[in-house]
C-alpha cells in the first residue's frame, strides 16, 4: 500500500484545464438558449461556424508547430473562445465574419503568443474589437427581439440569412432589422446613445418599443440567464467571486452617482447592469485566468477598472457597449496591478523595521 503525502490544505478541488473550460461552456448554455429564443436561431448557426473554425485553426497551428493536435483540442480552450465570440456578435451576421474573427482569435491572439497560458489579451474580445473596427456595418446588424420583428424566422430561415443575408422568404437583414412599426431598430444601448447625442432626454428616448422592460426588450432575460450561469461557476468554484463582484459593483456605483446627479441624461444602474453584454463580461470573459489579475487584491482592482471603463466608454466613447474595449484595456494593466498587489513573501522584513 502506498500513501500520497501532500501539504495542507487538503480540501481543495483540483480540476484539469479541460474540465474548467468545459464547465464554462456548460454554464453558457442557459444564456445561449434564451438568446436564441429571443433574438433568433442565428445564434446557433454562429456557434457551429465558430466552434468548427476554432478547432480547424487550432489543429492547423499545432501541425505547423509539429505538436500533437488531439491533446490541444481536448483541453476545450479553442471551443470556449469560439463560443464566447459567437454569442457576442449579431446572430445574423454574415457567415464569413465569424470565420475571420475566430481564426484571428486562435491564430493571431492565442497561438502567436505561445498558445494557452501565454496570451496577453482575451482572444475572443481581441477578435471582437478587430471585427468591430474592420467591419462596423456587419457588427451592428442586431435584430430586435422576436416580439418586435416583422417576420418570424425558422431555423431554415436563420441558415439562409447567415449565408445569403436574406431569409428563405426573401426578407433582407435591413428589412428584418425594422420593428413591427417599420422603424429601424438598434440595440437599446445604441439607440439611447444616438438619441441623447441628438438632444433627446432620457424619458423621450425610453418611449420607444425597444426599451420595453428594465433594460430593453429581451436583453434583461439574456443577462439574467448569463447571471445564473455565472453564479453556477462561482458555486462550483470554477471562478472566484472577486472579479464579477468588482465589475458589477463598480459599474453600479458609478452609474448610481451619475443617475442621481442627472437622471434625465443618464440611465439607471439597473439598465446599465442588464443591458448589452454586462453579465457575460463579468462572469465569463473578465474572469479568464490567463489574461486577468492573479492576486486577490489585484482581482478587485482589475474588476473595478473594467466596470469603470464600461461606464466611461458607454457614456463618452464611440461605441455603445464598450465591454470588449474595457476588458482589453484592463488586460494591458494586469502586469502593473499584479506587481503592486502581490502578497509579501513570508518572513520579508519591511524597510525601517527594527529601528
Give the chain's domain count: 1
Q: CA-based diameter of the chain, in Å? A: 84
Residue 191 counted as domain residue: no
85 belongs to a structural domain: yes
| Residue-by-residue pLDDT tens, the chain, 355 positions | 555 554 444 445 577 888 999 999 999 999 999 999 999 899 999 999 999 999 999 999 999 988 888 888 899 999 999 999 999 999 999 999 999 999 999 999 999 888 888 888 999 999 999 999 999 988 988 887 877 777 778 889 889 999 998 888 887 887 777 654 444 456 788 888 888 878 888 887 787 777 777 777 788 999 999 999 999 999 999 999 999 999 999 999 999 999 999 888 888 999 999 998 999 999 999 999 999 999 999 999 999 999 999 999 998 888 888 899 999 999 999 999 999 998 776 655 555 445 4
Does some domain include residue 167? yes
Q: Supply the pLDDT for residue 181.
A: 44
The answer to whether residue 281 is domain-embedded is no
Which residue range is the domain that position 32 belongs to? Answer: 16-185
- Is residue 251 one of the residues assigned to a domain? no
Please tell me the number of Cα atoms within 13 Å of 50 on its side-chain side. 33
> Which pLDDT score is estimated for 175?
75
Q: Which three cell numbers stand for residue 70?
A: 488531439
Q: Is residue 108 in some structural domain?
A: yes
CB within 8 A of 149, min separation 6: which ones? Answer: 40, 143, 176, 179, 180
- Specify the pLDDT at position 62: 92
**Does residue 10 fall inside a structural domain?**
no
The predicted model scores a pTM of: 0.89
Nearest to 331 by CA among 301, 290, 292: 292
Q: In the chain, which residue ranges form alpha helices assigned H by DSSP?
A: 17-39, 42-64, 70-73, 77-86, 95-103, 123-134, 155-164, 173-176, 188-197, 202-205, 219-235, 242-261, 269-273, 278-280, 296-316, 323-341
Region label for 331, one of left (φ > 0), alpha (ψ between -120 and 50) or beta (otherwise): alpha
Residue 217 domain-assigned (yes or no): no
- Decide if 89 contacts 40 (C-beta within 8 A): no
Amino acid at each position: 500500500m502506498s500513501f500520497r503525502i501532500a501539504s495542507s490544505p487538503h480540501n481543495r478541488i483540483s480540476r484539469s484545464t479541460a474540465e474548467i473550460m468545459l464547465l464554462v461552456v456548460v454554464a453558457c448554455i442557459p444564456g445561449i438558449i434564451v438568446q436564441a429564443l429571443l433574438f433568433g436561431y442565428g445564434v446557433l448557426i454562429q456557434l457551429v461556424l465558430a466552434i468548427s473554425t476554432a478547432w480547424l485553426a487550432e489543429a492547423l497551428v499545432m501541425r505547423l508547430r509539429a505538436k500533437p493536435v488531439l491533446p490541444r483540442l481536448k483541453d476545450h480552450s479553442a471551443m470556449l473562445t469560439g463560443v464566447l465570440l459567437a454569442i457576442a456578435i449579431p446572430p445574423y451576421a454574415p457567415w464569413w465574419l465569424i470565420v475571420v474573427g475566430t481564426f484571428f482569435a486562435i491564430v493571431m491572439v492565442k497561438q502567436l503568443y505561445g498558445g494557452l497560458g501565454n496570451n496577453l489579451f482575451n482572444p475572443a474580445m481581441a477578435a471582437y474589437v478587430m471585427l468591430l473596427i474592420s467591419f462596423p456595418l456587419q457588427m451592428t446588424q442586431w435584430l430586435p427581439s422576436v416580439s418586435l420583428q416583422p417576420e418570424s424566422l425558422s431555423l431554415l430561415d436563420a441558415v439562409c440569412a447567415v449565408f445569403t443575408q436574406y431569409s428563405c422568404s426573401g426578407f433582407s437583414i435591413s428589412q428584418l432589422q425594422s420593428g413591427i412599426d417599420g422603424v429601424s431598430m438598434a440595440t437599446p444601448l445604441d439607440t439611447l446613445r444616438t438619441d441623447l447625442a441628438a438632444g433627446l432626454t432620457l424619458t423621450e428616448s425610453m418611449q420607444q418599443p425597444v426599451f420595453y422592460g428594465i433594460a430593453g426588450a429581451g436583453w434583461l432575460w439574456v443577462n439574467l440567464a448569463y447571471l445564473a450561469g455565472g453564479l453556477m461557476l462561482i458555486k462550483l468554484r470554477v471562478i472566484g467571486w472577486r472579479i464579477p463582484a468588482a465589475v458589477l459593483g463598480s459599474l453600479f456605483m458609478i452609474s448610481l452617482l451619475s443617475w442621481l446627479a442627472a437622471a434625465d441624461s443618464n440611465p439607471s444602474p439597473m439598465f446599465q447592469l442588464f443591458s448589452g453584454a454586462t453579465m457575460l463580461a463579468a462572469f465569463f470573459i473578465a474572469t479568464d485566468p490567463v489574461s486577468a489579475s492573479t492576486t486577490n487584491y489585484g482581482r478587485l482592482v482589475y474588476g473595478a477598472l473594467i466596470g469603470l471603463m464600461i461606464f466611461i466608454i458607454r457614456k463618452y466613447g464611440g461605441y455603445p457597449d464598450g465591454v470588449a474595449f474595457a476588458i482589453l484595456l484592463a488586460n494591458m494593466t494586469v502586469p502593473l496591478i499584479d506587481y503592486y498587489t502581490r502578497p509579501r513573501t513570508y518572513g520579508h522584513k519591511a524597510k525601517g523595521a527594527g529601528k
